[in-house]
């Protein structure tokens, strides 16, 4: 057995105790507000409520408490940061961003208890080695590496106890916390996103469903030598434990140290995969977190991990998204606006300045697809330009509303893949990759 991480904390499973954890957070934030307010008055400055609430100290309190609670409490923060970050105040986005890879792992005893419940007493006798120090700890569960007596190398995802039962109440409690301290603007409706967060979390907590997604992706990818996926061990998979073959490789970011042709080849494969998921299969693993990819250097193969956040898309959604992409690439502003309304980015009665600003941002995002040569992700300032346009949109907040959650999850996939290509300093002919998908249905006219 290996040494347990010092940061480990047991997970409280009862609804009341989890609510009390948030109650303690309220007290900490209130104390921070009083301290910051006193300093502001002493300095002769004007008191502003948002400045007092969104202090660095409160940011640490919120992030640390949600990461300790894990589950829906942590996930709703992640979703707000990743799916709605462009639309929320920058201070709130910074608070939530630290939750993306910052869960506290469970202690050894809690892990052993879950495994005994799933596999029965004496389960450890079937293993030559089992590492109680997790390879990764996220919002729903943590992953352990093990080797069986018959030399099978496994990755075992163990779900935190009580997660499924606490999803709905956690989301409601965290939502109330954000509203109490006005961390989300009062005129900004996140109800649809929070409802979607509940559904998404229930889906991610269903390990049998994730096992089916892994099998389906395996069939779709087939014998493509550029990718490897885990194979589920059905005999050791339960509602709380997902057991899979171990996918070897180094973190995908390590490819950044490879020669340019390798970086370009890996990035091209990743982008090709995204396009297939969205436009051919309409089955999308929506979490492009770097930790969900590995790279086997000798085999030149990308390992794909974590299929809990897999979503199916209706043909109408992906076709409308294709039409929007076609309009943005060909510079048809009227068609961009038509498709943006159809998809739900804004409404026809919204202010013309807001509609124009949103269309401009959509056009900017399509820059790599319009580029006539291999697009240099490292040299591009696209991220900065989109951020500036998003900040400009926030100034028109009274017109803003979140796009449908289906689109937000697509944003996460595309944005995460873009960031990974930038991390790899890749140069990819994106226009050539996307061109076949732009030959789909002719953009529809407004009815």
The phi-psi region of residue 120 (left if phi > 0; otherwise alpha if psi is between -120 and 50; otherwise beta) is left
DSSP string, 143-164: EEEEEETT--EEEEEEEPTTHH
| Cα–Cα distance measured from residue 198 to residue 179, given in angstroms and rounded to the nearest whole number | 18
- Choosing from 264, 287, 306, 320, the catalytic residue is 287
Question: Long-range CB contacts (< 8 A, 24+ apart) of 355-364?
Answer: 357/389, 357/392, 357/393, 357/396, 358/393, 359/333, 360/389, 361/386, 361/389, 361/390, 361/393, 362/324, 362/328, 362/336, 363/328, 363/331, 363/333, 363/336, 364/389
Distance CA 162, CA 239 (A): 12
Task: Give the three-class secondary structure for 242.
Answer: strand
Residue listed under structure tokens 């047991």: 10
Is 287 a catalytic site residue?
Answer: yes
Please give the structure tokens belonging to residue 436: 């076949």
Contact predicate 417/375, CB 8 Å: no
Q: Which residues are catalytic?
A: 287
């Amino acid at each position: 057995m290996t040494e347990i991480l010092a940061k480990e904390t047991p997970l409280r499973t009862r609804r009341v105790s989890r609510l009390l954890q948030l109650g303690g957070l309220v007290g900490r934030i209130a104390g921070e507000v009083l301290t910051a307010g006193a300093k502001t008055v002493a300095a002769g400055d004007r008191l502003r409520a948002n400045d007092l609430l969104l202090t660095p100290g409160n940011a640490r309190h919120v992030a640390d408490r949600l990461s300790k609670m894990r589950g829906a409490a942590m996930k709703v923060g992640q979703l707000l940061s990743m799916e709605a970050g462009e639309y929320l105040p920058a201070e709130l986005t910074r608070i939530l961003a630290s939750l993306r890879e910052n869960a506290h792992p469970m202690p050894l005893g809690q892990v052993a208890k879950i495994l005994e419940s799933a596999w029965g007493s004496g389960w450890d006798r079937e293993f030559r080695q089992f590492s109680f120090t997790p390879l990764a700890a996220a919002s729903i569960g943590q992953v352990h590496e093990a080797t069986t007596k018959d030399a099978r190398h496994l990755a075992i995802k163990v779900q935190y106890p009580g997660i499924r039962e606490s999803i709905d109440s956690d989301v409601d409690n965290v939502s109330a916390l954000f509203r109490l301290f006005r961390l989300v603007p009062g005129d900004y409706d996140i109800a649809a996103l929070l409802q979607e967060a509940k559904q998404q979390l229930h889906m991610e907590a269903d390990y049998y469903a994730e096992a089916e997604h892994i099998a389906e992706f395996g069939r779709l990818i087939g014998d493509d030598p550029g990718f490897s996926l885990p194979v589920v061990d059905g005999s050791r998979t339960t509602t709380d434990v997902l057991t899979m073959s171990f996918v070897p490789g180094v973190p995908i970011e390590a490819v950044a140290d490879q020669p340019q042709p390798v970086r370009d080849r890996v990035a091209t494969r990743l982008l090709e995969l995204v396009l297939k998921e969205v436009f051919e299969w309409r089955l999308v693993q929506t979490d492009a977190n770097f930790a969900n990819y590995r790279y086997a250097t000798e085999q030149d193969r990308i390992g794909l991990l974590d299929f809990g956040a897999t979503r199916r898309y209706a043909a109408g959604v992906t076709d409308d998204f294709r039409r929007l992409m076609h309009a943005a690439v060909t510079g048809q502003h009227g068609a961009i606006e038509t498709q943006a309304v159809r998809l739900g980015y804004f409404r026809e009665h919204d202010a013309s300045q807001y509609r124009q600003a949103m269309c401009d941002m959509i056009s900017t995002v399509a820059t790599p697809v319009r580029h006539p040569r291999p697009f240099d992700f490292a040299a591009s300032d696209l991220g900065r330009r989109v951020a500036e346009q998003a900040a400009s949109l926030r100034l028109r907040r009274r017109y803003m509303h979140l796009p449908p959650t289906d689109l937000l999850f697509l944003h996460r996939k595309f944005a995460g893949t873009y960031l990974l290509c930038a991390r790899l300093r890749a140069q990819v002919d994106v226009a050539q990759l996307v061109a076949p998908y732009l030959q789909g249905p002719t953009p529809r006219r407004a009815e």
